[in-house]
Amino acid sequence: MTRTPMDVHAAIGQLWVYPVKSCAGVPLTEAVLTPTGLDLDRAWMVVDADGEFVSQRELPRMALIRPTLRQHDMVLRAPGMLALHLAIDAAEQPTKVRVWDDTVRAYDMGALAAQWFTDFLCPRGTGLGPLRLVRFDPDVQRLSSLRWTHGVEAPNQFSDGFPLLVATEASLNQFNQRLVAQGHVPVGMDRFRPNLVLTGLDAHGEDHLDRLSLGEGPEAAQLRLVKPCARCSIPDVDPATAERGQAVGDLLRATRTDPRLDGALTWGMNAIVCSGDGQRLHLGQSVRANLRFD
């Protein structure tokens, strides 16, 4: 692969974190970069009685659980539920959980959190539950696929497999133009759950980038885009209502099959953090990139 100088220019248009895996995202004006991605992104996860993670794939009502991050605590709200307050640094009993193919140590968040998630996501008569909320153990090193990182050890928490997901505003604009042309309503970026949304690039311009430099000077944070993000059924869940549709998935199948992943549907690029631990990213921050030539 040949690298060119960083002559592609963009800016950060949106920043998102998803504190509880598969629950609603939190839009931010600034965020701290860590080796595992943006601070507190996918730091918590909901698991079933066997310790297996659950998501909107099985429980679309997770989309209605909305976190608010404050200085010392996270507040979770959901329709018909009293707010649940959790201290940012709280952790109770150690446990083991499974996320995709990885079994990792974590901390159970206690009986109150477990009851709250079970009551909202598994109402009586559904046959589901009980559920538990767990916190990632920061002493655990869960690595991204070395195949895609070319041997670089890139840790992440409870994400699907990589520290960051990068997308572009132009991609969503183009997608919505096609949806509207088919008689559907446009959708928001929250359908696709990115962390960094870039402005100043063509639609799906992130597909063709290799490295990103965020900020100015020698202290600029460095990211590397390593893998197209394969999409499941979650983009078809309406974040406002938790109702499933099919228009988004149908349009992805018509326009975004990716030969790099044997025809999987892709949107956005997974990225790893090369440098910049502790740096603060903010909306409008300059981004430079170089092109990928595979």
> Is 224 a member of any domain?
yes
d(CA 294, CA 281): 29
| pLDDT over threshold 60, residue 3 | no
Arithmetic mean of pLDDT, 264-288: 96
pLDDT tens digits, 244-264: 999 999 999 999 999 889 999
pLDDT tens digits, 43-88: 999 999 999 999 999 999 999 999 999 999 999 999 999 999 999 9
In the prediction, which pLDDT does 1 show?
38
For residue 7, name the pLDDT band (cuts at 50, 70, 90).
Answer: confident
DSSP H helical segments within the chain, as ranges? 111-121, 146-149, 169-181, 247-255
pLDDT tens digits, 110-135: 999 999 999 999 977 566 779 999 99
pTM: predicted TM-score of the whole model, two decimal places: 0.94
CATH number (domain holding residue 68): 2.40.33.20
Arithmetic mean of pLDDT, 275-289: 96
Domain interval for residue 102: 8-291
| CA nearest neighbour of 31 among 21, 41, 39 | 39
For residue 283, name the pLDDT band (cuts at 50, 70, 90).
Answer: very high
In the chain, how many domains are there? 1
d(CA 60, CA 121): 9
Rounded to the nearest 10°, the torsion over CA 263, 267, 268, 270 is -50
pLDDT tens digits, 221-245: 999 999 999 999 999 999 999 999 9
d(CA 111, CA 134): 11
In the prediction, which pLDDT does 196 show?
98
> Is 2 a member of any domain?
no
> Is 196 a member of any domain?
yes
d(CA 168, CA 212): 13
> Is 3 a member of any domain?
no
d(CA 133, CA 47): 6
In the prediction, which pLDDT does 2 show?
42
Token pair in block for residue 289: 């990139």
> Is 1 a member of any domain?
no
Contact of 100 with 31, CB cutoff 8 Å: no
| pLDDT over threshold 70, residue 29 | yes
| pLDDT over threshold 60, residue 17 | yes
The whole-chain average pLDDT of the chain stands at: 94
Token pair in block for residue 215: 């900020």
Percent of the chain topping pLDDT 90: 88
Token pair in block for residue 199: 């402005």
CA distances from 123 to 189, 244, 255, 274 (A): 29, 19, 38, 44
| CA nearest neighbour of 269 among 212, 188, 218, 222 | 212
d(CA 161, CA 269): 12
In the prediction, which pLDDT does 4 show?
53
Contact of 18 with 76, CB cutoff 8 Å: no
